[in-house]
Amino acid sequence: MSDYTLDNIRSGTVLLFLWKLTGEIKYKQAADLLREQLKSQPRTKEGGFWHKEVYPYQMWLDGLFMAEPFYAEYAVLFDEPNDFDDIALQFKLMEEHARDPKTGLLYHGYDESRQQAWANPETGTSASFWGRGVGWYFMALVDTLDFFPKDHPERAELIAILQRLAEAVAKVQDPQSGVWWEVLDQGGRKGNYLESSASCMFVYSYAKAVEKGYIRKSSYKKVYKTGYAGIQTQFVQDRPDGGVDLNSTVSVGGLGGNPYRNGTYEYYLSEAVVTNDAKGVGPFLLASLYLHN
């Protein structure tokens, strides 16, 4: 808890699942610790969670997926309805500050202080639309809405945010392959490549959003069907031993730190591309479950 990284919070969804499954108090106690972290997590002046204490004044798209589904489920299980105002605020602040009005896509990060070298001095945003970053945010929306009260006044706004994002992401789907690029709006540019984790995240998010009625099936069924077919063609490879591999997953993406990550197009293309990374395989399994059910 002491490092105040939102990445710690993601494991909370597993702890809640195990507590519901077994009733063992140790899982509840561990989840309580993560909830305590959120109570003292550093925030921007407007109330947005810092992604990590070592990244002051910064909100990243990743953090929404790491924290909000757990935060929402915990609020339901332990009757903390006031938390939903705060949960909605996180999504609203991220969209308000990171959304590009021209494309509708969200930049990877936002620095309230404008002090980071990667931050636009006027807007505070980073420079690129990172595929997996947008995927984290998209999945965070569809998963958090599972727990968001039907009568909460902010629920409609979260669905509207999701609808705006769905429209923007569909526009940068690669028409030849059906999947998405590492840097979303730079399809075909030298060095850019089709990336599996973002593609799997988008297919899962579209399929779930259609199934839940957040977006129209008539508008988006083709998007996720074409996307899933593209995943199988572009990224899934049979092995001689009968297993399968998921290729073309970027290993990591971030901003700042040491060595310094400047958020440029060239930075995102410099990170290693790997096979069978959990950040790709997990969303692939989720997408497959939705497509096959």
Report, as residue numbers or ranges, the catalytic residues: 62
**Cα maximum dimension of the chain:** 55
Gap between the Cα atoms of 17 and 19, Å rounded = 5
Residue 251 corresponds to which tokens in the numbers above?
A: 């290993």
Q: Which single residue is written with the structure tokens 């910064």?
A: 58
Gap between the Cα atoms of 256 and 260, Å rounded = 5
Query: Whose CA is closest to 263, among 112, 111, 126, 136?
Result: 126
Gap between the Cα atoms of 28 and 284, Å rounded = 29
155: exposed, middle or buried (C-beta count within 10 Å: 0-12, 13-18, 19+)? middle
Query: Whose CA is closest to 131, among 75, 71, 191, 200?
Result: 200
183: exposed, middle or buried (C-beta count within 10 Å: 0-12, 13-18, 19+)? buried
Residue 215 corresponds to which tokens in the numbers above?
A: 């977006």
Q: In whole angstroms, how far apart are CA 22 and each of 16, 18, 41?
A: 10, 6, 29
Percentage helix, strand, coil for the chain under 3-state DSSP, each rounded to 5: 50, 10, 40
Gap between the Cα atoms of 31 and 194, Å rounded = 37
